[in-house]
Structure 1
Amino acid sequence: MKRKYLYITVASLLYASTGFAQYDMDLRKSGNTPLTYLDLGNPGPKGKEIRVNNLYMEEGGKPIFPVMGEFHYVRMDHRYWRDALLKMKASGIDMVSTYVMWSFHEEEEGVENWSGDRDLRRFVELCAELDLKVHLRAGPYCNAEIKYGGLPEWIVNNKSLSTRSNDEIYLNHARQWYKKVYKQVQGLLHKDGGPIMALQIENEFVKPGIVISHLMNLKNMAVEAGFDVPVYSMTHWMDSEYPKGEIVPYAGFYLETPWVTNNGKMTPPTNFEYFTYNRLSDNIGTDLIKVEGGVESFDGSKNDSPFFTCEIGVGSPTFYKRRPVVDEGMAGENISLRLGTGANLMGYYMYVGGTNPRGLTNKYGIGPYFGYDYQAPIREFGTLGTVMKETKKLNYFMNEFGPELAPLVAYLPITNKDRDNLQWAVRTDGSKGYLFVSNHLYRYDRNDYKGVQFKLKLRNESLTIPRQPVTVVNKSYFLWPFNLNMDGVNLKYGTAQPITVHESNGVKTYFFFEDDQIATEYLIDSKQVKAVSANGAKVAKEKGGYFVDEVQAGRSSMITIEKNDGTLVKLVTLTEEDSDYIWKGEVAGFDFVAITKSSLVVDDNKLIITDEKPDQQLAMYTADGFTDKNYANMTRQDASSGFTVLSPMHGASWIQSVDGHVVERVFDAKSLSEVEEVVLRFKSEGSTQFFLNGVELEVESLGTYNKIDLKPQFIIGKNELRFQSAVKSNPVVAQVEVLYKNGVRKLWNTDETWSNGEKKAVAVLAGKAMPAVYAEEEHLGLFEIKVPDLNKLTNELRLEVDFEGDVATAYIGSEPFTDRYHDGSSWILGLNRHKEALQDNSLLLRIKGFVGSTADIFLEEDVDREGSMVPKVQKVVVKSDYSYTIN
């Protein structure tokens, strides 16, 4: 082993010191990998059999490259599931993965809830209607940033069992859980013609000594319950054990790691930001890597499972100690690195953000109570995230070229081991393939690399790409094809990135985009080609082919290839900006490629574009080029908003006892939830004592009002509150604020329902001054948001809120709406999804400011740390959706 390590090191130094040799790769011995198939479960109906081999997944005997997005149905209003699924499909997702969270379905033992937002069967049926496969992640443990990882509290608190173990009682409970889940989805498995083709067993299970036995116990129980599916999976990192041949391990790669706080500082680049075969944090599989001629290969011939992923982070959650705002580059880099190292199932976590349901089981401790936006491609209230632009075009690439990519093995130059070198990789079968390059680190800069020219020795030829050395600039990442079959025409290579293919009237058009300051050139093999012409490019016929350069990227940049049989193949090179807004799909049986900054979906064979502006543009492609259309016939729905700063004790009345010393009230605080915080704020004109349940409590003066922490004496039940003054008829105004651990916020105000201690009513006083603002010591602000009349506006409305502070929670009445850790970006709040509740209740933002030093919290540079100690709302803007149906 030591000799092998020394060889790698010496070879790395040799290649790094020989200039262009760093970009050479000898692939003459590469070839097709022998395939061995895993015997997992029922492959399904004839002609649609799903099988997994040591490299990839097949359907109907042909390679497929699934693109899977995580969407937690319980974290979204069920009325909007279809909207999110349509957006997923429109952006290139063909498989939906979802956790089935036990604690949300059986919060009390024996009391199940599978209705409304918890209606698993309806969610799966919707996926089937939209032709989306489903990968159930049924636990029993999920993680998912919820308390106990989705195990119900009644299981966790059961002293007679040991959770996540081979404890017989625990396994019996798990067996019952699988039966309950199966009952909900019976008839919807792949073997029945349904969409469910995979089942995840447990999650991140790493207990030494029992990994294999426990996972096999769970799998066997799931099968006995009825889950006879083609694929059984597990998330797998931190431990090398797993039931080989029985369960497929799925990997996860997060470039942004909010669980690593690093004392508020930037975290260093992770191993996963480089081309490496390290699929897991423990280097599993590296003993299978071969090094020959300066090239690492991991051909999979001895591999027990293919390289599948389920948690590719293209967005990021926001945890208390780390609040990054991610950009689209993180998404593109992470996807490209995984493709370059051999991934054959791209699974994103999260793809659709959401909101945790209110309940006792949704607080994990490091993330917000409710907000699970994840800065995902589709965000908490349905808007498209920044990362969608890069994610979508790579999804289309995998949709179109993935089946041909899947059998291709990944090869890495050993020069990659020196991370100061340009990172690159090749996937090939020895004749065709793709070249992957990454000069991008998340949040860090790298050098520009000059004089870059790749030389690939293939089995029957050598290719030099591009013809002249180029500079690969900082933040670049791209993939280039070589020997790409374009409907019978061989593209020897191209220095632009492929996106997708459009077919209409017998003409196939291949879409590429130019990026990263490298000029586009194409070399087209002359075999099967009669002529090549170009609009916006220079074509030179030469021995064996046509060389195309001086390409002017844009929608009108078209290369037309006439084949010997007279049929045509076209090639369009888009700009990088246009590639961000490309949409690909099928409507009414026809292919379409469109460019629009609007969101685009296909619903019921109709193409629909949606934007926050009534004036929208769409460029639709036909074999003759793009046709621009403008849509501007909608009347703008003007809706304004604003906010009112609420004072302490807002809504409370000044009261006084009539000829007495006491005012009192009994409140019933009955709740299934524990109390998080209970505070009394009051003001009186004379000396006043306060008693809760007969115990006098210490009063804290905050200048214009007083405050008392009631939590030590507060009970879940009836509480007796009493003010006792030294003088008769002493005026007092007060408010009790109760925050429950399930997120509910209740207020008890002084009003006419209080008594004087002798069952006589108190007097309510008018015209007396209230404290204007919260004391600085409280670091608290409350803001009532003006909401437009949702009954008069037909379009979907959202609020865009800019605020300063630490933690903000939105309430509709006493009920939590969602919450947010301040990170400097705008907070989007969906209104229509809470239309009914907003008719009778106000929308309130409760914002807590930072207290003390924030040095151990990672925040973006534009966040005003000092200013955020005093909460404030800076702006509230109404955003409205406008939709057009395209004929």
Structure 2
Amino acid sequence: MKYRYITLTLMALLSSLVAMAQYQMDLKNVNAHPLSYLNKQSFGPKGKEIRINNIYMEEAGKPVLPVMGEFHYVRMDRRFWWDALLKMKASGVNMVSTYVMWSLHEEVEGQQNWKGNHDLRHFIKLCAELDLKVHIRIGPYCNAEIRNGALPQWIVDNKALVTRSNDPIYLNYSRKWYESVYNQVQGLLYKDGGPIMAVQLENEFVKQGLVISHLMNLKKMALEVGLDVPLYTMTHWMDSEYPKGEIVPYAGFYIETPWVTNHGKMTEATNFEYFTYNRLSDNIGTDIIKIEGGVESFDGSKSDSPFFTCEIGVGAPTFYRRRAVVPEGMAGENINLRLGTGVNLMGYYMYVGGTNPKGEKDTYGTGPYFGYDYQAPIREFGTLGVVMKETKKLNYFMNDFGSKLAPMLAYLPISNKDRNNLQWSVRSDGQAGYLFVSNHLYRYDRPQYDGVQFKLKLKNEDLTFPRKPVSIVNKSYFLWPFNLDMKGVTLKYGTAQPITTHQEGKVKTYFFFEDDAIATEYLIEAKGVKTVTAHEAKVTKEKDGYFISDVVPGKESVVTITKEDGQQILLVTLTQEQSDHIWKGQQDSQEFVALTTSSLVVNDNKIQITAELPTQHIALYHARDKKRFVEMNYHSQKEKTPKTSYVTLSPMHHATWIQATQGKSISKTFDGTSLSEVVEATLRCRSDMKVSVLWNDKEVQLSSLGEYSKGDVKGQLLSGSNTIRFESEGGSPNVVAEIEILYKNGVRKVWNTDDTWLSDGQQPVQKLEGKAKPAAYAAEERLGLFEFSLPDLADLDNEVRLEVSFYGDVATAYIGPEPSTDCYNDGTPWVLGVSRHKEQLQGNPLTLRIKGFGPSTDNIFLEDNVDRIKGQHPAIQKLNVVKDYTYRVE
């Protein structure tokens, strides 16, 4: 037993040593990497000049790490652009990326639309007002879940050319498109003092052997028409082939991949949930990776393009066969992984959700046809998505610490290649930097790692932290600083995550938060420090510094560092929950930091908070106030949430029983003219006697569905005049009927029997009162229609939304005959921004048309809370009416 005990002890010791070795990294030989510039001279107004080198972007000669959010102006009513841009800026975005989609501007050849919601120039001017840079993605091909990737149908149908190629006719058309874009943005380019500093050419272009030549043809055309900017980009969905030194390849990383349907089953964890140098493809960049001493790194001397991204997926679209609901942790995990592998431009797709416009001929969306919510940080109707909490705090980190982070290369231990090991990385210049850790997988669990302690061999020292080994639990991801320069005071390390900074007079505050079950500790170098005191923490004076332990995170947790020159530096350690509600901005040219569960923006130089609650709270940070946070409460008793109700429509709900007053037939002629094709045309009818139905003199084949009959008249419907006639063999026929037509552009038209129908001899029909109509749609139709009675929205300033939970598969909202938006049921409430359509709702009903699931849903990935059985029979499960309350913070 004695020897067994010794053996077990040795095994435990060896296991501990292996673990310790696994978390070591030698960075002593890290040297400054040579920089080569893509644009040889500075580009832009004085003091704002932009240059791009092989590692990062410079502005006014200083490194920057831009935060870019995708917002498609044409997918939102222009009246709400300002609101969305304010929210982007408030959440730390400083660059707006937008597709300029050809098919949405020129549905018919030669008929371009740049007005209203298509007004690109106005959108860019709004960005400029908020000092937001702009990256236009001009195609010609865009993808963007738009039909034909935004190539107009008339281009796709043109047999004389080959799209997405060097075909001269296609290039000539593309040049005309580029000229049209330039005409809209002329004078708004960065060189002219405007915000447009980048142009993306094409998108996801992967035709081997054509990539360089085609992209260079597009760049040449862009320059020739006047689109002269500091940065030209492309999405790099391929191997290492791209025009080096001419166009910067952008990467994309999605953790949720709805285009991978996997027959309704779970998908495997993606490569990008681990620290890896792969830039979407397994190939790009691997030729310049070097390994030294168990550490993998990019060879900066061989890198010819910076690691920029344009499609970091913090949300995800809902595709028909995959309807995953994205948790907030997915956003933090994805951003943390990207920063830990060297990303120096964080481009989110999408950052603002929207609604696809309706075309004259067609729908543009690939499904859903209108709803493009994307579960984005800012959702389709202006609400904040759950992923905003994680995204926002990391945006602030990049804003405030990015200039120092950007020049630091990423170093990965080769132990990461074994995915059973804890995933971690370091970005450093050999002296200071950040440690990144990820123990999080999307929809899968990871083991807990015990006895974790990191040892970094730096140029002038060896640094080990934390002081005692810790456990890294499942679903953890975080970043910790080491040798962080805080205005002349060195934070040797901290085991809390930095969020942002705040300057008030001569007092600088650094905000951190504690998370993932690891206690916070700070080690502060003594050099330049006079005293260190703490509230809700313990300070231990040591030989070379101050050790901060026993930290109790919260608004009162403040470490005060007084420098020898009398200036103060404060460290505030928030809880994880408080970090979710932190906001940073400027008012009156002064920085502010606030904590509030409300949405916050700065509008007209005033802080505004908005939530769907009449009572709201905000805590504004004041470094020189003894309480640190000044608490304020706001409440409204004047405005009440408006009420709404709905009725379940039955077949022929709005139709009237009618009877012929003369002869044996009843008829109606109506106009079916439309530029759009017919998708469905359905006749539903009921009669007390046997009748035959003729559509344009051709008999309609009816099938009985119990309480009513149904006929498919799509093949008989004409674009123009149509006549329908009900005939009986004897006696005056009576009938109640509806004709429902669904067009390819999403329009839904319904004709009902009423007193405008005619008997023989052009005589008016007689209305029949009190006769029963079908009680419900037949089960075979799997159809439900619901009509809402809304309050008067005209005088409401703040937004009103409906939250509709429903049983069913696919739902479409109509205002009168016009489609508003649609969705695939994913088990979350469907949010409808009704007040955004208050003009259209004047005199027009809001109708929801819901189709039920078929008998088998095995090939659809649905969350567990989606009832697949009840979903075969459409119904409203729950209805909430919510209203925004907005307060100005004085």
Question: Scaled by the length of structure 2, what TM-score is found?
Answer: 0.97
Residue number in structure 2 paired with 1:806: 809
Q: Distance in 2 between matches of 1:278 and 1:446?
A: 22
Checking the alignment, whether the CA contact within 8 Å between 2:450 and 2:469 is kept in structure 1 is: yes
Any idea what the Cα deviations from partners look like across 1:431-467, whole Å, max 9, x if unmatched?
0000000000011111111011011111110111100
Checking the alignment, whether the CA contact within 8 Å between 1:659 and 1:728 is kept in structure 2 is: no
Change (3 A) 1:618 1:161: same
Residue number in structure 1 paired with 2:649: 646
- Give 1:287 deviation, angstroms: 1.6
Q: Distance in 1 between matches of 2:277 and 2:103?
A: 37
Any idea what the Cα deviations from partners look like across 1:507-553, whole Å, max 9, x if unmatched?
00000000000000000000010110000001001111100010000
- Give 1:41 deviation, angstroms: 8.6
- Give 1:42 deviation, angstroms: 7.1
Alignment of 1:207-246 (within 5 A): 207-246=207-246
Residue number in structure 2 paired with 1:536: 536
Q: Distance in 2 between matches of 1:822 and 1:398?
A: 35
Any idea what the Cα deviations from partners look like across 1:322-357, whole Å, max 9, x if unmatched?
001111000000000000000000000000000000
Q: Distance in 2 between matches of 1:792 and 1:238?
A: 53
Query: Does 1:827 find its partner at 2:830?
Result: yes
- Give 1:715 deviation, angstroms: 2.3
Q: Distance in 2 between matches of 1:424 and 1:431?
A: 18
Residue number in structure 1 paired with 2:424: 424
- Give 1:239 deviation, angstroms: 3.5
Residue number in structure 2 paired with 1:11: none
Alignment of 1:432-447 (within 5 A): 432-447=432-447
Checking the alignment, whether the CA contact within 8 Å between 1:699 and 1:707 is kept in structure 2 is: yes
Give the AA of the match of 2:469. P
Any idea what the Cα deviations from partners look like across 1:69-118, whole Å, max 9, x if unmatched?
00000000000000000000000000000000111111111111110000
Q: Distance in 1 between matches of 2:760 and 2:679?
A: 29
Q: Distance in 1 between matches of 2:572 and 2:493?
A: 15
Query: Does 1:752 find its partner at 2:760?
Result: no
Residue number in structure 2 paired with 1:793: 796
Query: Does 1:840 find its partner at 2:843?
Result: yes
Unaligned runs of 5+ in 2: 1-13
Q: Percent identity?
A: 67
Q: Distance in 2 between matches of 1:40 and 1:833?
A: 47
- Give 1:662 deviation, angstroms: 1.4
Alignment of 1:502-651 (within 5 A): 502-623=502-623, 624=625, 625-651=628-654
Any idea what the Cα deviations from partners look like across 1:36-79, whole Å, max 9, x if unmatched?
11138971123221111010000111101100000000000000
Query: Does 1:290 find its partner at 2:293?
Result: no
Checking the alignment, whether the CA contact within 8 Å between 1:362 and 1:369 is kept in structure 2 is: no
Give the AA of the match of 2:764. A
701, 710, 713: which one aligns with 2:713:
710
Give the AA of the match of 1:720. T
Checking the alignment, whether the CA contact within 8 Å between 1:99 and 1:137 is kept in structure 2 is: yes
Checking the alignment, whether the CA contact within 8 Å between 1:483 and 1:493 is kept in structure 2 is: yes
Query: Does 1:132 find its partner at 2:138?
Result: no
| 654-663 or 499-508: bigger deviation | 654-663
Residue number in structure 1 paired with 2:272: 272
SS at match of 1:184: helix
Q: Distance in 2 between matches of 1:577 and 1:658?
A: 73
Give the AA of the match of 2:870. G
Q: Distance in 2 between matches of 1:776 and 1:665?
A: 29
Residue number in structure 1 paired with 2:660: 657
Q: Distance in 1 between matches of 2:848 and 2:155?
A: 35
Q: Distance in 2 between matches of 1:633 and 1:365?
A: 40
Give the AA of the match of 2:706. G
- Give 1:212 deviation, angstroms: 0.7
| 183-192 or 28-37: bigger deviation | 28-37
Residue number in structure 2 paired with 1:9: none
| 610-619 or 365-374: bigger deviation | 365-374
| 689-698 or 216-225: bigger deviation | 689-698
Residue number in structure 1 paired with 2:60: 60
Question: Scaled by the length of structure 1, what TM-score is found?
Answer: 0.97
Change (3 A) 1:225 1:339: same
Query: Does 1:871 find its partner at 2:864?
Result: no
Q: Distance in 2 between matches of 1:42 and 1:28?
A: 34
Query: Does 1:179 find its partner at 2:182?
Result: no
Q: Distance in 1 between matches of 2:42 and 2:550?
A: 53
Residue number in structure 2 paired with 1:301: 301
- Give 1:792 deviation, angstroms: 4.3
| 704-713 or 344-353: bigger deviation | 704-713
- Give 1:267 deviation, angstroms: 0.6
Q: Distance in 2 between matches of 1:450 and 1:716?
A: 71
SS at match of 1:402: helix
Checking the alignment, whether the CA contact within 8 Å between 2:641 and 2:882 is kept in structure 1 is: no
Alignment of 1:432-471 (within 5 A): 432-471=432-471
Checking the alignment, whether the CA contact within 8 Å between 1:353 and 1:379 is kept in structure 2 is: yes
- Give 1:365 deviation, angstroms: 6.8
| 391-400 or 783-792: bigger deviation | 783-792
- Give 1:717 deviation, angstroms: 2.1
Give the AA of the match of 1:827. W
Change (3 A) 1:128 1:15: farther
Q: Distance in 2 between matches of 1:758 and 1:205?
A: 65
Any idea what the Cα deviations from partners look like across 1:197-250, whole Å, max 9, x if unmatched?
000001011111111111111111011110110000011112331111111000
* Number of aligned residue pairs: 874
Residue number in structure 2 paired with 1:4: none
Residue number in structure 1 paired with 2:492: 492
Residue number in structure 2 paired with 1:815: 818
Any idea what the Cα deviations from partners look like across 1:828-883, whole Å, max 9, x if unmatched?
11122111111111111000000120011000001101010000002221111111
Checking the alignment, whether the CA contact within 8 Å between 2:250 and 2:310 is kept in structure 1 is: yes
Q: Distance in 1 between matches of 2:48 and 2:361?
A: 40
Residue number in structure 2 paired with 1:92: 92
Q: Distance in 2 between matches of 1:792 and 1:411?
A: 58
- Give 1:318 deviation, angstroms: 0.3
Alignment of 1:79-478 (within 5 A): 79-359=79-359, 363=363, 366-478=366-478
Query: Runs in 1 of length 4+ with deviation above 6 angstroms?
Result: 14-17
Change (3 A) 1:443 1:364: farther
Residue number in structure 1 paired with 2:5: none
Checking the alignment, whether the CA contact within 8 Å between 1:362 and 1:370 is kept in structure 2 is: no
- Give 1:634 deviation, angstroms: 4.7
Coordinate RMSD, CA, aligned: 1.4
Unaligned runs of 5+ in 1: 1-13
SS at match of 1:758: helix
Q: Distance in 1 between matches of 2:42 and 2:844?
A: 52
Give the AA of the match of 1:412. L
- Give 1:629 deviation, angstroms: 1.0
Change (3 A) 1:268 1:190: same
Give the AA of the match of 1:351. Y
